[in-house]
Amino acid sequence: MQYFGTALIRVLFIATLSLVAGFAHAELKVGDMAPDFRLEGSDGKSYQLADYRGKQAVVLAWFPRAFTSGCTVECKSLAENGEHIRKFDVSYFMASTDPVEKNAEFADETGADFPLLSDPDGEVATSYGVFTRGFARRHTFYIDVSGVISHIDTAVKPSTSAEDMIANLEKLGVAQRDS
């Protein structure tokens, strides 16, 4: 009987810790400062959000898993329409909890002409409120030049992700680059 009581207490303790951890990072909303990050990209470079502050807007498109159907469609959409996205003064990234080696292979296979960022421990995904069951939910964060979240797309459609990103950049009034 004592073993059962100890086991029950242990289960309740773990469940409580899980709930507390889930609430530790409140859901981000428009107007919040975007959490800083430093993540390795598929191109072998390291990217830190703070490096863009005061210089350029950033789009961070979280995706669940490399080489899955929806993620492949989304990545190809962005790759095939990169010239239209790059008309804006913005740096854009896709990010997942996959290891950098897997994202590098995925970038090669899909023809991605932009970095895919890797967050294998899920720490940054957690700070953005997208980490769940070992992977990131498909959400796209639009971060203005001052580092503030200006839009969050929680209903990303992989097949129109590039067109939707372009429409959102226009709607948000992100500056266009000089041709």
Distance CA(73)–CA(47), nearest Å, equals 24
Quick one: which H or E segment has residue 155?
Answer: none
Is 75 in the active site? no
The separation between CA 155 and the C-alpha centre of its own chain, rounded to angstroms, equals 13
Quick one: which H or E segment has residue 86?
Answer: none
Catalytic residue of the set 58, 60, 71, 104 = 71
Q: Are 70 and 158 in contact (CB under 8 A)?
A: yes
Annotated catalytic residues are 71
